A and B are shown apart, each in its own frame.
Chain A
Amino acid sequence: MLGVPEVVHTLLLVLMGLSGGLITGTGLAAVLSALHLPARLSALTYTRRANRLYELSLTGGAWVAAWWLPFPFYLRLPAATLALAGLFTGAFVGMLASALAETIGVVPVAARRTGVGALIGKVVWAVAAGKIIGSLVYLTYQPFLGP
C-alpha cells in the first residue's frame, strides 16, 4: 500500500492490536469494578484476603476468551461439563444485572414510589424468579431462537 515497506505495516498492526487490547482489558476491569462486583463478592464471603486471587481470576477469564479470537481451540469435553460453565456464567450475569440496577438506583426509587417498604426482601425473590423464567423462555422458546 502506497509503497510503504511491509515491516511498517506489521509494526502498525502490532501497535494497534496491543493498544486496542489494553483498552478493552482496562475497560472490562473498570466496568466490573465500577459496579462493585468483585468487591461485593469478596465482602459477602468474608474472603478479602483472596483479593489478589480474584483479580487474577478476572484476568485469566478475559485472557482465555481473548486468545480464542486468533486461535479458536477445542477442548472436546463431554457436553455435561457445560453445566458448570453455564451455572457460573449465569450467576455472573445475574449479579451484573442486579449490580447495574442497583447502581442506577431503580430499586430504592421503585420501593419508595410503591411503598412496599419492608416487603422489599420478597420483591427481590420475585425479580430473581422473573429472571430465571425469562432466561429459560428466551433460550428454549422457538420464536426467540430464529429460523
Chain B
Amino acid sequence: MAVIHIRPRDSVTAPVGVPITLGMLAEVAADDEALEHRLRAEPVLPREQPAEGPVVVSALDLVRVIRQLSPGADIRPIGPDVTLVRSEIRQSPVTSVVLITLVCLTLFFGAMLAIMFFHADVEMETVHRSIHRLVTGVEVERPLWLSVPYSLGVGLGVLLFFNSLSRRRPSSDPSPLDVKMHTYDEDTDNYLISQNHPRPLPQKDQP
C-alpha cells in the first residue's frame, strides 16, 4: 500500500486568479515519484473571483483530495492542521513610490522630533555643560568635545540597533525590523485563521 506523507504549510500567498495546487498548500512525499508529481500539480482551489479574501484550508480536506486521487493510500499528515491562503496585493509602481516616500518622511521627521523631545526633556545641553565642567573643570558655552562624538554616536546607535553596519548582513542575523515584521505577520495569520472557518473544497466527481 502506498504511503503518502503531507505537511501542510502555515500560509501561502499567491496572485488572485492563480489556481492553488496541492503542492502549494502542502509538501507532499510519496513512494511513487509519478504519483507525487501528479498530487503536487492537482489544483485544489480554483479562485476565479477578482478580489478574494483570505481562505483557510483544512488538512483534512487535503486528505480527502488525495484519497480521491489515490484510493486506498495510507495518508499521513504531519505539521499544521490548517493553511492560510492569502491573495497577493498588486501595487502600481507609482503607489509604491508614494507610500514609501510618505513612510520615509514620517519616520525621518518622527525620529528627529523624538530626539529633540528627549534632549529638551532631559536638558541635554545643560547636562553636557555639567559633564564638561566635571571632567575639565572649565565652564564652556558649547562643549564640542563632548557633544560632537555624542551626535555621532546617536546615528551610529540607530544603525547598530538595526544591524545595518555589518557588510555580510544577508548571510548573518536579520535586522530587528525583519523580526518584528515576522511577528506581526504571524499574529495577523493567526487572527485570520481564527476568524475564518476552513472552507470546504469544491468536490470533484469520482472518475
Residues in chain A within 8 A of chain B (CB atoms): 1, 6, 9-10, 12-30, 32-33, 36, 38-43, 45-48, 50-70, 84-85, 88-89, 91-93, 95-96
Contacts and interface: CB of A to CB of B under 8 A. Distances in A.
| Residue of B113, B154, B188 contacting most chain A CB atoms (<10 Å) | B154
Given A27-B157, A48-B181, A21 B111 contact: no
A57 B104 contact: yes
Interface in B94-152: 96, 99-100, 102-116, 118-119, 124-125, 128, 131-132, 135-137, 142-152
A88 B65 CA distance: 52
Interface stretch (B26-34, B47-55, B68-76, B158-166): B158-166
Nearest to A72: B142
Interface string B41-60: 00000000000000000000
Contacts of B150: 17-18, 20-21, 24, 66, 69-70
Query: For this complex, into which size category does the number of interface residues on chain B fall?
Result: 35 or more
A9 B89 CA distance: 58
Contacts of A17: 128, 145-150, 152-153
B167 interface: no
Interface of A (DSSP majority class): helix
Interface string B172-187: 0001111011011100
Given A28-B118, A61-B108, A18 B152 contact: yes
Contacts of A60: 108, 111, 155
Contacts, number: 247
Nearest to B143: A13
The majority secondary structure among interface residues of chain B is helix
Contacts of A93: 110, 113
Q: In the A-B complex, list the 4 residue pairs whose CB atoms are closest, starting with the nearest.
A: A25-B157, A21-B153, A92-B110, A61-B111
A62 B152 CA distance: 10
Contact of B113 (A10, A41, A92): A92
6 contacts: A21-B155, A25-B161, A45-B99, A51-B181, A57-B104, A89-B112
B136 A55 contact: no
B115 A65 contact: yes
